[in-house]
Amino acid sequence: LKGPSKYYLKGMNSNIDSLSELVEIGDNFISAPGSIILSHDTSTVTHTGKLRIEKTVIGNNVFLGANAVVLPGIKIGDGSIVGAGSIVTKNVPPGMVVVGNPAKVITSVEKYMNKCEERDVLYSLTSEVLEKHRTGIKMTPKEKSRSIQDLYQQYWRKNSNE
């Protein structure tokens, strides 16, 4: 995250545009490292001498995957998931999973969660992680280590025949 922004804690893993007041981020936003949220486009300067500026809106309960890019003027609906490496060039409806370049809807979040449940690939987070989750407060190295060990233990108990 570059520069002062009221969304610093919400977008801790994201690089938010230098025009950060034109980026609105809802509650319970989670971003993975390397993600970028833009509200301006400098490519227009060469051709027009003007900067393209549009407000970008990220809804509530949105996940933005690692190295995903949200272009200026985009609205991502509540409860959506943007996959890692996606380039979001069009608005994302609420409750959808989008992936790719350009990002396209591949399923609903509900169907994706059901598929994860069916495949038995969801694991519980520790209370320490859940308490800090979505607050922007990073875990201490000790908390992170305990959380990782707990996840490994859950995984190996469930997959002991591997």
Overall size of the chain counted in residues:
162
- The position carrying tokens 């000790």 is 142
List all residues 6 or more positions away from 150 whose beta carbon is below 8 Å from its beta carbon: 126
- Of 86, 89, 82, 88, the C-alpha closest to 100 is 86
Q: Is 40 a catalytic residue?
A: yes
- Of 74, 66, 59, 60, the C-alpha closest to 17 is 74
Distance CA 58, CA 67 (A): 16
Calculate ∠ Cα 137-96-9, nearest 5°: 15
Residue 88 in tokens? 């979001």
Catalytic residue among 26, 32, 40, 75: 40
Three-state DSSP class for residue 25: strand
Q: Which residues are catalytic?
A: 40
